[in-house]
Structure 1
Amino acid sequence: MQKRVKNVLFIMCDQLRADHLSCFGHPTLKTPNIDGLAARGMIFDRAYVQSPVCGPSRMSYYTGRYVHSHGASWNFVPLKAGEMTIGDHLRPLGVRSVLVGKTHMRADLAGMSRLGIDPASQVGMRIAECGFDSYERDDGIHPYSGHDPDPAYNAYLREQGFDGDNPWETWANSTVEDDGTIRSGWFLKYSNRPARVPDEHSETPYITRRAMDFIRDAGDQPWCLHLSYIKPHWPYIVPEPYASMYGPEDALPVVRSDAERQDPHPVYAAMMDHRVSRTFSRDGVRDAVMPGYMGLIKQIDDQLGVLFAFLEAQGLMDSTMIVFTSDHGDYLGDHWMGEKDLFHEPVIRAPLIIYDPDDRADATRGTRCDALVEAVDLAPTFIDVYGGEPVPHAVDGCSLRPLLFGLRPAAWREHVVCEYDFAFQDSRIALAAKPRDAWMRMISDGRWKYVLFERYRPMLFDLAADPNEFTDLGASPEPEHAAARTRLHEALFRWARQPRQRVTIADGTIESTEIQPRISEGGILIGYWDEADLAQARQSFKPRFASTNPLVKPTLDRLTHPQGVKHDD
């Protein structure tokens, strides 16, 4: 019996580096359940996000559009009402799109108000949740943003006896010292200590159970479930037994060079001066953080084992596509940086594994793909799964199913692009840059990586000769480097020139529309000399007239044959 996809499980971790999975080469952090998924599917070794920070990266995943297309350029910049998302594309195909976990979405309340949309209505709630129906939203950013002040997880913790105004913080993301002093996990110093909350009540197991609750309740309607974990994002703190599983000796060596701090690019220098970067550059900080970060990843892997066993027990593994990825990585002290503010590989290269149960994917199971792929490719992949027509006028990415089926399209992309708006960062202030000048864009062909800034020279890295990206060739006079800069600059400009805002008319509709005669405008005729001229044009376009608006035909007959003479159509 042929196997086909009925459901899609779209799993996203937050701030997970690709090199921190054993199937991507980590020597000590073993992730057997994620590895098992890879054995049943395909690893994409060169998958890249569209922005190195949560909000814009996720909006690109959800819309299938680049950052400068959807406009949500930084955390909490609202995705404007009217942007099409995965849910909007799949709902007409009969698919229920559901969220369990994080989106990092800020609702466009101003846009909804202008359009007369009630935020509490079903349409308003979908706009506020990136097109998903929210089964349970948990962004893990409360209470400081005021965006997610008291989620259902807090109520759950209180029911289990973990009381307080914000048990998410005081139990799930805090530790207690031997003398009873409670310490916040927000402080990096305590990342190697266990969280107060027991493992079974911590966030990752809780969200996994909520995903299973939805699957039990889903019924027969096909679904696309976005299971979005907030970890291993900071606070880097995890309960036992995970807190004690790893020590600093299990971590990958830090990747940084003293040469990077000698006459660095001005924007890079300003970002190395961010507080988080200065802190991660201090001795001992990375050693404290890595046990917590690695433990959080191990916990996710164990919970995915629980989830995959549940899918097997429910008889769903043979009909559910599973996508595993991350919204971006984490510097963790590499390149003298913390967080995720530039375009080095540990930040913008995402883990991507896809298991497609379709029989046509049998030939690629357990293999690795070296094609350049992007976050924007997932939305068109899901549309493809459910038999929807491609919508290249509204979605920037390409379906990955041909690659999953062992067929690489001849015109597959030659470059990946990543964008970052650092207008909201201290580095912009330090550089005295205007917000509209605080944009940078990266383009890479897999070997050369070119970064374009406003007001400053570019950066350039040769990933073949310098895989650690220690040497910035942006000012190098070498002819080879100058040629690479020129070529990639033009490629970036060519990418930027592509029309991406005409989303209301499909390309196919334009190609099927008669240009001459102008029948789409109710018989308005432009440029014809007389009736015979129109009749000749009508005859030359005759094969395509069969599909035109029948309301136009009487107008054409009247103008072409005013005496009422009938001709064959």
Structure 2
Amino acid sequence: MSSSKPNIVLIETDQQTAETLSLYGNPVLKTPALERLAEQGVVFDLAFCNYPACSPSRSSMFTGRYASTIGVHANHMLINPNETTLPQVLKEHGYQTAIIGKNHAFMNDATKSYYPGAVAEKSSLLREVFDHVRLAEHGHMVDGYRNDPEVKAAHEWAQRNCWSSPLGHGTNPARPEKCGTYLIGQSMIDYLEEVRDPEKPFLTWLSFPDPHTPYQVPEPYASLINPADVPLPPKDNLDGKPERQKVMHIMDAMDCADDDLIRKVRAIHYGMIRFIDDTLAKIFAKMESLGLMENTVIVFTSDHGDSMGAHGLIQKHNAFYDSFTHVPFIVYAPGYNGPKRTDHMVELIDVMPTILDLAGVPVPYGCQGRSLAPFLQGKPYAPREYVVIESGEEGEPIKLSDITVRPEHPFDERYFVWCAYRDAWMGKGKSIRTHDWKLNVYASGEGELYDLNNDPDELTNLFGNPAQDRIRNELERKLLMWSIAKEDRLPMNRTVNLNYEQKKKEAVKPEH
């Protein structure tokens, strides 16, 4: 690593499972820019979000603290402005900070905070922690291009045709140059060339709203992958699974979706990812031409997955399958010469302490993530034994018997998509995943236990199997120990001044 503070580019896509990339085994989609980045860095095979929904995942990542710790227990809740966040800390240590793309983590207005108590003077509000803000939404609206008639038309087409139904998808008739992914890339290039202060290190959160819904992309990406070539996940009839998953299956009309339809949606989803990859290729080329690659750390990840038909489910949900929680995680760090892949387990709350460590900036008290910097720097490193993922709001999950209206087919627009409903996230749960096993426990008393070595697709629930009592008890004990360890250390205890170590030192002071 260079002796000067490195620049940081944190690239985040939205709703992209690791398995969508060739780097994680996808047989039909090539992503050359990410593959080249991985050749120069390291791929973490086992990285997981801490909550399988956008804002809790992003909020925990930027605070280095679990969603339950910071009180972001549902999608669309945002970071308490009084929390300490990654861009805030880096800005205080001389970094120029920028967000280009989707936010869905930082509040814009302190007066609308729903957290008790006044907002501190040094707060984590969007325009206080980021020097440069260029926002984008799902579809094609990007700051700086919102009045362009072609951009508007691309956005309206996406919203009208592919937004309101569970499996709406299509080919956007717009030119690629007028679509959101391209415009975010152009905004990043403009920032690198014209906006950033060359005298300061920079942190840029490059945040693509795709490949989240609406599932649509322009040509040539819409036809890039032949749906007939797209593999499908194994069938899961959800027998022995929590009832809430059967509700998800029906409320997204997945019981009416055939294999051909799922293949078509997957092919569009893959086209969206390739569009992002081609955009990254231009950004990386620009960084090389500006001489920035020699002193820039690049992290590529996603906030959570998309089941894309696995387990008879689509999009994101209150569930813990790897299709929802396993995210890509690639790190390029100048000077790194370790293994090209590792099975060290990573949680997204590890992003904040890792980046701060690599920047030579102290990690704030109360951060619950674990820095990967020692591993990246070839120093002694003790990897995680397991990861923990949280999900759900307080309340009773809806039952099949509660359903009186539902979409009649995958293109039914009357009820929108189930994962957008508050009811879809009722029922709190936690998941603990080791290399070999996954245990999911729910407040309702339901549970899941999967033998990942023999059942990597998580099809057979062993939770009630007496033969697995030992492993279940062991994992429950680990989850209990995790719960104790993660209890919030804030505020720091400054009320007791007596310190035994200090007294021991004073006691052995030489007499004069």
Deviates more, 1:430-439 or 1:71-80: 430-439
User: What is the deviation of 1:264?
Assistant: 2.9
Question: SS state of the match for residue 38, structure 2?
Answer: helix
Evaluate the alpha carbon distance shift between residue 278 and residue 242 of structure 1 in structure 2; reply closer, same or farther with a 3 A threshold.
same
Identity %: 28
Contact 2:18–2:326 (8 Å) recurs in 1: yes
Residue pair 1:38, 1:355 contacting (<8 A) in 2 also = yes
- Please, which of 460, 470, 483 is the counterpart of residue 449 of structure 2? 460
Deviation at 1:499, TM superposition (A): 5.0
Flag the 1:116–1:538 CA change in 2: closer, same or farther, 3 A: closer
Q: Does 1:201 align with 2:182?
A: no
Looking at both structures, which has the greater relative contact order when contacts are Cα pairs under 8 Å and sequence separation is at least 6? 2
CA distance in 1, matches of 2:163, 2:247: 27
Per-residue displacement from partner, 1:444-498 (whole Å, max 9, x unpaired)? 11211000111223210000010111000011111xx111110111111111112
Contact 1:274 1:426 in 2 (8 A): no
User: CA separation in 2, counterparts of 1:99 and 1:314?
Assistant: 20
Matches within 5 A, 1:133-172: 133-140=131-138, 152-153=142-143, 156-159=145-148, 161-162=149-150, 167=153, 169-171=155-157
Which residue pairs with 2:312 in the alignment?
336
TM-score by length of 1: 0.78
Matched, 1:363 2:349: no
Q: 1:426 to 1:491 in 2, by over 3 A?
A: closer
Structure 1 distance, partners of 2:268, 2:423, is 38
What's the offset of the Cα at 1:70? 1.3
The amino acid across from 2:490 in the alignment is V
Any idea what the Cα deviations from partners look like across 1:257-282, whole Å, max 9, x if unmatched?
Answer: 33x3x343223333333325445x44
Instruction: Identify the range of structure 1 (85-94 vs 108-117) with the bigger mean alpha-carbon deviation.
Output: 108-117
**Aligned partners of 1:56 and 1:72 also within 8 Å:** yes
Look up the match of 1:318.
294
2:507 to 515, 540, 553: 540
Q: Match of 1:371, SS?
A: strand
Aligned ranges 1:508-527 → 2 under 5 Å: 514-515=498-499
**Counterparts of 2:233 and 2:313 in 1: how far apart (Å)?**
11
SS of corresponding position for 2:182? helix
1:355 and 1:430 map into 2 onto residues whose CA distance is 50
In the other structure, the counterpart of 2:427 is 438
1:417 to 2:374 alignment: no
Structure 1 unaligned residues grouped into runs of 5+:
143-150, 175-181, 520-535, 544-566
**Kept in 2: contact 1:189–1:288 (CA 8 A):** no
| Counterparts of 1:133 and 1:207, CA distance in 2 | 17
Alignment of 1:37-436 (within 5 A): 37-105=37-105, 107=107, 109-111=111-113, 126-128=124-126, 131-140=129-138, 152-153=142-143, 156-159=145-148, 161-162=149-150, 167=153, 169-171=155-157, 173=158, 183-184=161-162, 186-187=164-165, 191=169, 193-216=170-193, 217-219=195-197, 220-258=199-237, 260=238, 262-275=239-252, 277-278=254-255, 281-341=257-317, 342-357=319-334, 359=335, 361-364=336-339, 367-391=340-364, 393-410=365-382, 412-422=383-393, 427=398
Distance, in Å, in 1 between the alignment partners of 2:469 and 2:88 is 44
Say if 1:291 and 1:69 are closer, same or farther in 2 by CA, change over 3 A. Answer: same
Query: In the TM superposition, what are the counterparts of 1:462-477 in structure 2 within 5 Å?
Result: 462-477=451-466
Cα separation, 2, equivalents of 1:371 and 1:158: 46
The one-letter amino acid paired with 1:67 is A
Partners of 1:158 and 1:167 within 8 A in 2: no
Task: Please state how far the C-alpha of 1:542 moved relative to its aligned partner.
Answer: 4.8
Q: Residue 11 of structure 2: SS of its match in structure 1?
A: strand
> What is the Cα deviation at residue 331 of structure 1?
0.6
Asked if the contact 2:398/2:426 (under 8 Å) is kept, the reply is no
RMSD, aligned α-carbons: 3.3
**Aligned with 1:242: secondary structure?**
coil
Question: 1:105: Cα distance to partner?
Answer: 2.8
Aligned mates of 2:506, 2:395 — CA distance in 1: 60
- 1:231 counterpart letter in structure 2: D
> Any unmatched runs of 5+ in structure 2?
404-421
Q: Retained in 1: the 8 A contact 2:81–2:119?
A: no
| Counterparts of 2:33 and 2:323, CA distance in 1 | 22
Q: Partner of 1:556 in structure 2?
A: none
| Shift in Å, 1:515 | 2.2
1:502 is the counterpart of 2:489: yes
SS of match in other structure, 1:372:
strand
Kindly state the Cα deviation for residue 510 of structure 1 after the two structures are TM-superposed.
Answer: 10
Task: Give the distance between the partners of 1:538 and 1:371, measured in 2 at CA.
Answer: 40
Name the SS for the 1:46 alignment partner.
Answer: strand
Kept in 2: contact 1:457–1:475 (CA 8 A)? no
Check whether the contact 1:29–1:250 (CA below 8 A) recurs between aligned residues: no
Aligned positions, number: 489
* Distance 1:304-1:537 versus aligned 2 partners, 3 A rule: closer
Counterparts in 2 of 1:376 and 1:170: CA distance versus 1, 3 Å: same
Q: Helix, strand or coil for the counterpart of 2:284? A: helix
AA matched with 2:321: H
| CA deviation map 1:190-218 (0-9, x unaligned) | 52x32122101100010011112222211
The alpha-carbon distance between structure 1 residues 353 and 129, as it changes in their structure 2 partners (threshold 3 A), is: farther
Does 1:484 find its partner at 2:471? yes
Larger Rg: 1
- Distance (Å, rounded) in 1 between the aligned partners of 2:58 and 2:23: 24
